[in-house]
Chains A and B, each alone.
Chain A
């Protein structure tokens, strides 16, 4: 019987032939993780990431595989030396020195440490977190040791270059400085890439099978930045990252998480060396499943595609089932698809709905 590891390797075209079924993956918010941990009697282990928004993606792996996830996702943890110290408004500095504040659901960046950057010297003077800080990869090592034989292991370095840069500087300032080609911009991108490359190389050395990059280049209707600006200022930087990962591990799989309507960038994404495109955000221009499969099915394996903004929390079971069937039949035709919600399942989705999603996926996943 095929295990999850082989199943996903076939989807990612690293082993020839179809998997036995479409693999499943999902990320759960804390409330859902706590609920299912209690229900299933599985201890939920949270790994705090340097950037809080990524924390739930690298947490609760034991629980998620018990619920049916076909992959394990790990990443760098916060340092043992790091402590959250809240100010009078409840805000705190993370390891990047970003000022963070808890919103309704997400933790938001409300202060950027490089908000006044103008020169390369400003970037050179900034101290990234230490990749080798104590405890940084403790959880990753434990997960890899436990699950390596049966599951493909992803090393998560989301908030990689562009996203990390705009959180460090402020989005509006970075976008205008990209247009003005202000001195610090490309050095900042390179510095972010170097930091995340060091994290990624250590994850590879620990034994991950894939590196999961994450930077959002799309809005609900279009790209955030002009394609020519991406090609000029960012594309070579991502390519160098992947080349260095391949040098360390020639069969490393490179995955890109990229929200928004980004079909117009996917040829460039492929040229950089990415093999898996996630989350294939549904409902945005250029992302119809048939268009994705026709235009990019030879270049990428797809991971994601189930709407969790509206369908998962608010749709009927029939609507959800129809969507799952369509995505499996179209994106999964002749393989090349791992089904998942397009984002972390939030607390607006009931536990019953999560169970229904998993059961419907399994019901229709067989080849």
Chain B
């Protein structure tokens, strides 16, 4: 089992989605995350173990490499896609409760902003790190965040912005969320924001990279 999960972890780390995928070149002709997850389930490996010991270690390695600028956005996307492919097979077990995710994260690009690739990357990496992710899309105002929070009590919120002209909405949205549901934690991210801005608007956390957010959530959903 260990060897199988180790291979699965490598598929996530290097972005090997399935057997047919030609990426990465060094893993051509090998089973990918898709096949290995099916194999593991057929062999009776606990879905929780597949997530915790197969998928998450690979995603953590990618997250650290990305933070250190050793890999780039396309490579992280491939890792996230490998992980997402595996998750399709695990989803029924989360729904049934046979496997558990660590917590729920609600994410959206801020009101007035239509950019999504950074937000999508974070969403995929969080899912690969064991979290249930509710992705509200782009151009999201406080009403939508609050609606999702009402359906997912205890969730943490993430707001993304790419433009200096849209990040200003993060302040009012953070305030409205916290007024509507006191105690809600709000995290922010995106190219124009930083920790000073996070503190200024009363948000709870900012990370310049997805791995930092994973580590923060791990302390909150322990």
Contact = CB atoms under 8 A, between A and B. Distances in A.
Interface stretch (B49-57, B74-82, B128-136, B178-186): B74-82
A128 to B, nearest CB: 24
B172 to A, nearest CB: 14
A181 B114 CA distance: 27
A103 interface: yes
A309 interface: yes
Given A220-B191, A309-B164, A176 B112 contact: no
Contacts of B164: 309-310, 313, 348
A335 to B, nearest CB: 32
Interface residues of B, number: 28
A346 B74 contact: no
Nearest to B21: A180
A346 B72 CA distance: 30
Contacts of B192: 309
A103 B113 contact: yes
Interface stretch (A135-143, A204-212, A221-229, A245-253): A221-229
B77 A176 contact: yes
Secondary structure class of chain A's binding surface, majority of residues: loop
Contacts of A110: 114
Given A101-B114, A103-B112, A219-B191, A176 B72 contact: no
Contacts of A104: 112-113, 163, 165-166
Contacts of B166: 103-104
A168 B55 CA distance: 33
Secondary structure class of chain B's binding surface, majority of residues: loop
Contact of A346 (B24, B165, B191): B165
Interface string B68-90: 01011111011001000000000
B22 interface: yes
Given A181-B22, A346-B165, A221 B208 contact: yes
A178 B73 contact: no
B23 A105 contact: no
Interface in B9-48: 15, 21-24
Contacts of B101: none
Contacts of A108: 114-115
A272 interface: no
Contacts of A348: 164-165
A180 B165 contact: no
A55 B71 CA distance: 35
B13 to A, nearest CB: 14
Contacts of A172: 77, 116-117, 120
Nearest to A313: B164
A175 interface: yes
A133 interface: no
A264 B143 CA distance: 43
Given A110-B114, A221-B208, A229 B74 contact: yes
A224 B69 CA distance: 10
A310 B191 CA distance: 13
Contacts of B114: 101, 103, 108, 110
A137 B144 CA distance: 46
Contact of B22 (A105, A176, A180): A180
B72 A223 contact: yes
B165 A224 contact: no
Q: Which 9 A-B pairs have the closest CB atoms?
A: A175-B74, A104-B112, A222-B69, A108-B114, A220-B191, A179-B74, A105-B165, A180-B23, A226-B72
22 contacts: A103-B113, A103-B114, A104-B112, A105-B165, A106-B163, A110-B114, A172-B116, A175-B74, A176-B74, A179-B74, A179-B77, A180-B78, A222-B72, A223-B72, A224-B73, A225-B72, A225-B73, A226-B71, A226-B74, A226-B75, A310-B164, A346-B165
Given A104-B113, A179-B74, 20 more contacts: A103-B112, A103-B113, A104-B112, A104-B163, A108-B115, A110-B114, A172-B116, A179-B24, A179-B75, A179-B77, A179-B78, A180-B23, A180-B78, A181-B23, A219-B191, A224-B73, A225-B72, A226-B72, A346-B165, A348-B164
Interface of B: 15, 21-24, 69, 71-75, 77-78, 81, 112-117, 120, 163-166, 191-192, 208
